[in-house]
Every structure is written in C-alpha cells, then in structure tokens.
Amino acid sequence: MVDRPYYVRKEINRLRKKKNAIILAHYYQDEAIQDVADFVGDSLELARKATETDAEIIVFAGVYFMAETAKILSPNKKVLLPDLLAGCSLADNCLPDDFAAFKAKHPNHKVVTYINTSADIKAMSDYVCTSSNAEKIIRSIPEDQPLIFAPDKNLGAYLNKATGRNMVLWDGSCIVHEAFSLEKLIDLVVENPGAKIVAHPESEQAVLRIAHSIGSTSQMRNFIKNSTADTFIVATEVGILHQLSKEVSDKKLIPAPSREDNSCACSECAFMKMNTLDKVYRCLRDETPEVYVESSLAVEALKPIEKMLQLS
C-alpha cells in the first residue's frame, strides 16, 4: 500500500526543483505544510522573502491577503495559493466601499493599515505595517499628524497605549485572538506557577494586561527562546508551537485556551487550516489556483508596502 503522505512529500520536492518553485508558509499553517516549506515565518518575514527569492513560482501557504501581497511585491512571478477560499476575518470585514466612506469622515488623517487587508485597502493607505513593525512605523510619523488605524481594533488600542497616540480605529478583530478565555487562562496560570504568558497584540485587552510579553509571532518566539523561564502559555494561533517545540524542546509550551471546548483546547484559524499538504501538491503540480492583482491597483498598493519595508 502506498504511503500517501510520503508520496506527496516526495512529489512536492521533485516538482519544486523541476519548476524552480519556493514554498513559503506562515507559522499558523498545518505542521505537515511547515515541514515541507522552504521558509516559515511571520507576515513581515514572508513579505521580505517574496522580494528576495529567485524562484519563478511562489507557493504561498497562508491566506489570500498574504499571497496577494507577495504578488504585489513580485509581479513577474507566478504566485499560487493552495486554497483561494482561505480568507481572513480582518481582511474580509474591511471592504473597500465601507473603508472609503470611513476614511472620508476623517479627511485630515493619514491611514496606517495592518497587512491583514486586501490590495484595495492597501491602495487607500499611506502606510502598511505588521505586528512586528507597527510601533516603529507609527513612531516614525509626526506626533501632530492625526491617524486612522485599520482593521484590527485590538492591535490599534494596544498601539495607542504603547505610542501615546489617539488613532481613530476601524472596528475589526481577529476571530482567533478574540477567542481566548480569560477565566481559563487564569486557571492555567494557577496550575502552572511561574509560567510566563506571551500574547499577540491582536488579543483582547484583558489578555494583554496579564501578559508578560506582547509581540508578533517572531517576537514571541524570540522571547521564549531567550527567557530563563521553563513554562510558557502562548496566546496566539496554535500552529506557532510546531516550530517552537523544535527550538526549545526543554521548555513546556501550553496553548492559551479558547472559550469554546474544541479538539485541541486552543485557538485555531480555520482559514489557515484550509490549506493541506495535498492542496500544496496539487497547486504545484497544476500551477493553479493562481493569484492575480490588477496592475494599476498593484502599483498603488505597492507604495505603502515599500514604505513599510524601508522603515523596518
């Protein structure tokens, strides 16, 4: 009997060499996808990698806005997304017409948008940021310049507090980072004395208030690797634990608990998990589904993205 996962991995390796392809995967992807990827990273790291690669084909194991950003940064490369329906609660709930009307209500404001947005929203923005560089980018803007921040209100509130700004916030949120149960989290702390809570800034303010460290996925990883503590409660999508468990095998990693009682007692992104190893194989084999961005839109969306990369 054929070992299907082994066959798929073998074919992926053969096809990527034959086609000069690279597989980029976000930390929130399924473990099997992370293991076959050429590079695993957060949004900023993946954006940089998309600009640096010599590959002719980019297989982007993430969600749609990430693949779209890669296409904007590398318009001459073929960008494939294993499942075109892999969306994002932040991007999908910040629609162009609605955001244009919101922006029109604040005519003197510059717009800072989180990378978790569509190309249309990026094209309306003055700056794009990730959770890794958001604070740095906001601090680079004159203090007397009024700002709009979209689409994540939790990240925006955290940044307002960190920078002393009073940015106008779009009312959006991440379904993963709003799913944590504060009550269950406190119970975990009681059960694990000395455990450090590390949280993504998209989390709700109640969670951030009790966190020992707040940062992007990469910043969380660095904190855990460099800390002398031996137990960590990790408040972000559970996929990050796969890479971390390899890097800090001597430390105990506990996923922050979700309000819902699910199979992993953690918070998973259903959109990220829409990609599978089989879908990665099929999209590399068939070179579809391909991500397209209309050229004039890509030109406008590229401007704030390039500004972000220069400031980072």
Per the annotation, binding residues for iminosuccinate are 26, 43, 114-116, 131, 200-202, 217
b/e per residue, 142-172, with b = 16+ CB within 10 A? Answer: eeeeebbbbbbbbbbbbbbeebebebbbbeb
Please give the biggest Cα pair distance in the chain: 68
71, 152, 252 from 85: Cα distances, Å: 17, 21, 34
Q: What count of other Cβ atoms lies within 10 Å of the Cβ of residue 76?
A: 6
Indicate the residue type of 172.
G
**Which backbone phi and psi does 37 adopt, to 5 degrees?**
-70, 150
For 271, the token pair is 């959109």
**Rounded to an integer, what is the distance from CA 150 to the centroid of its chain?**
15
Q: Are 235 and 185 in contact (CB under 8 A)?
A: yes
In sign, the C-alpha dihedral spanning 303, 51, 87, 166 is negative
219, 269, 276, 312 from 34: Cα distances, Å: 19, 15, 10, 25
Q: Are 213 and 293 in contact (CB under 8 A)?
A: no
Q: Residue positions in the annotated binding site?
A: 26, 43, 88, 114-116, 131, 174, 200-202, 217, 269
Q: Residue positions in the annotated binding site for [4Fe-4S] cluster?
A: 88, 174, 269
For 247, the token pair is 């890097």
For 193, the token pair is 């004395």
Three-state SS at 255: strand
**Rounded to an integer, what is the distance from CA 56 to the centroid of its chain?**
23
**Which backbone phi and psi does 155 adopt, to 5 degrees?**
-65, -40
